């Protein structure tokens, strides 16, 4: 199962990327991923905290799969062990014109618990929208 949310931002991709990878400032603007610690090295573990709308906070330690400057950030996490409830999260940036960027956030879910996670998936998708709108506001305000 994949969920995604896209937004077009009136700012260059380099500026959107700068904000997106300025992890220490996430608590100032990001309502969904309220904490993210990463050294940007593929294969290394991240530390992040998700704050689900109308839900609870989750501390996660996924592995960074891709850190392609200005284009894509991707990680994979799992609940307890592989195959139970896995998620591969991604951010993609695409320059669509001068000073315009299409930002896509998504996640591919799999695992045996997926069929029991409907309300959680709905909250995660709502969190994507909230984060995308906050990123848009921050990038366009500069």
- Domains (ranges, CATH) in the chain? 2-140 (3.30.530.20)
pLDDT tens string, the chain, 142 residues long: the values are 999 999 999 999 999 999 999 999 999 999 999 999 999 999 999 999 999 998 889 999 999 999 999 999 999 998 766 777 899 999 999 999 989 999 999 999 988 877 777 788 899 999 999 999 999 999 999 7
Q: pTM for the complete prediction? A: 0.93
pLDDT of res. 137: 98
Whole-angstrom distance, CA of residue 123 vs CA of residue 130? 10
**In this structure, are residues 9 and 91 in contact, taking their beta carbons and an 8 Å threshold?**
no
3-state secondary structure 73-117: EEEEEECCCCCCCEEEEEEEEEEEECCEEEEEEEEEEECCCHHHC
Radius of gyration of the chain (CA): 15
């Amino acid at each position: 199962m994949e969920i995604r949310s896209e937004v077009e931002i009136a700012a260059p991709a380099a500026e959107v990327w700068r904000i997106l990878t300025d992890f220490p400032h996430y608590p100032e603007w990001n309502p969904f991923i309220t904490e993210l610690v990463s050294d940007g090295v593929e294969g290394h573990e991240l530390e992040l905290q998700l704050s689900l709308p109308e839900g609870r906070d989750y501390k996660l330690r996924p592995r960074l799969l891709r850190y392609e400057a200005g284009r894509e950030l991707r990680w994979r996490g799992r609940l307890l062990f592989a195959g139970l409830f896995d998620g591969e999260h991604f951010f993609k940036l695409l320059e669509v014109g001068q000073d315009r960027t299409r930002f896509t956030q998504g996640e591919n879910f799999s695992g045996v618990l997926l069929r029991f996670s409907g309300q959680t998936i709905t909250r995660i998708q709502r969190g994507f929208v909230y984060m995308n709108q906050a990123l848009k506001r921050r990038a366009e305000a500069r």
